[in-house]
Structure 1
Amino acid sequence: MTVHKLDNIDRKILEALQHDASLSNAELAERICLSPSPCSRRVRILEEQGFFRGRVTLVDPARVGLPVSVFLHVTLDQPVKKNLKHFETKVSAWPEVMECYLMTGDFDYLLRVAVPDLAAYQRFLEDKLTGVKGVSSIRSSFSLKQVQYRTALPLGHLGEEALDTEQL
């Protein structure tokens, strides 16, 4: 597969689609000052090169009854490959887990869980998380207010000049 070199137009396409994936090709082309045919071709190339992980609609958690975000620090008793894989398989199957990161430092995993209320969180802990073999400690922090939430990656570091994606 040929490595695609990102240029300023590609960066504009990525930025525009990160903010609104529902843009039609004509709208996108107009927004980035390109005619529709080359715009469509560039989007197809970016897609083929794996720059897009998917297209989604962001739903307001409070409007669908999931106003509580809980951040959990999870420590395993023995963080060896087999136990890490077991834990990751378990949490990946739970719809409440919105994000899960393997971490360095004082704990092994950071999870963000979305639940309707404290009772639902208690059920999540009792019925799911505390039942995972190898979990030695769980520390929970409740979000009081979401100050900032972004899904669009900052692409300013790509600059105006062409950038070889192998450098990314």
Structure 2
Amino acid sequence: MKLDKKDQQLLNVLQANARTPVSELASMISLSDTPCLRRIKKLEAANVISGYHAAINPKAVGLHVSVYAFVRLNQNSVHAAEQFEQQIAKLAHVLECSVISGSYDYLLKIIAADLESYESFVKHQLGSIAGIANIESTVVLKQAFTNKHLPV
């Protein structure tokens, strides 16, 4: 889908605050309410806007440790990858799972209450997934910033 200037403006405003009322959005991008709402629906239908969510502070809900885990599988096959991805998708503490190049097959972003709970997660949940050859973890000492606003 080709985005025009109005679509880009609309996406930028929605990324900053998805709860902005349509009348305010329309005013901000110099449209009337109905065409603005039509654009939002078009962007949703095209999966440019893939959803809306509340940003929750992890520390406020007791999740103080972020870890990036590099995972290598025993074998490089479509079946092994599909099995791994199906199993990893079931683990609530895994926030992201990316297929990567290099010495490892996957990069996982994992969140936990503390290092002890991360260790337990690795031993009892992640480590129990068949087909994993190696896991290497990197603990985040400080999150300098997170930017979820895409440059559209």
- The 4+ residue runs of structure 1 with deviation greater than 2 A are none
1:55 aligns with 2:48: no
Structure 2 residue 146 is the aligned partner of structure 1 residue 149 = yes
Give the gaps of 5 or more residues in structure 2. none
What amino acid sits opposite 2:110 in the alignment?
A: V
> The residue matched to 1:43 in structure 2 has which SS?
helix
The aligned runs of 1:19-98 (5 Å cut-off) are: 19-98=16-95
Instruction: Measure, in 1, the Cα distance between the counterparts of 2:90 and 2:127.
Output: 15
Please give the alpha-carbon distance, in whole angstroms, between the structure 2 residues aligned to 1:86 and 1:62.
32
Aligned: 1:135 with 2:128: no
Tell me: higher relative CO, structure 1 or 2? Use CA pairs within 8 A at least 6 residues apart.
1
- Superposition RMSD on alpha carbons, in Å? 1.0
Paired residue secondary structure (1:22): coil
**Aligned-residue identity in percent:** 36
The aligned counterpart of 1:159 is: none
Which amino acid counterpart does residue 109 of structure 2 have in structure 1?
R
Distance 1:107 1:75 in 2: 5
1:161 alignment counterpart: none
Counterpart in 2 of 1:112? 109
Cα deviation, residue 5, structure 1:
3.5
Partner of 2:8: 11
In structure 2, the partner of 1:158 is: none
Report deviation, 1:58. Answer: 0.5
Deviation at 1:42, TM superposition (A): 1.1
Normalised by the length of structure 2, the TM-score is: 0.96
Superposed displacement of residue 45, structure 1: 1.3
TM-score if structure 1 supplies the norm length? 0.87
Q: How many residues align?
A: 152
Question: SS in structure 1 opposite 2:23?
Answer: helix
Supply the distance in 2 between the matched residues of 1:104 and 1:37 (Cα, whole angstroms): 46
Q: Which letter maps to 2:119?
A: Q
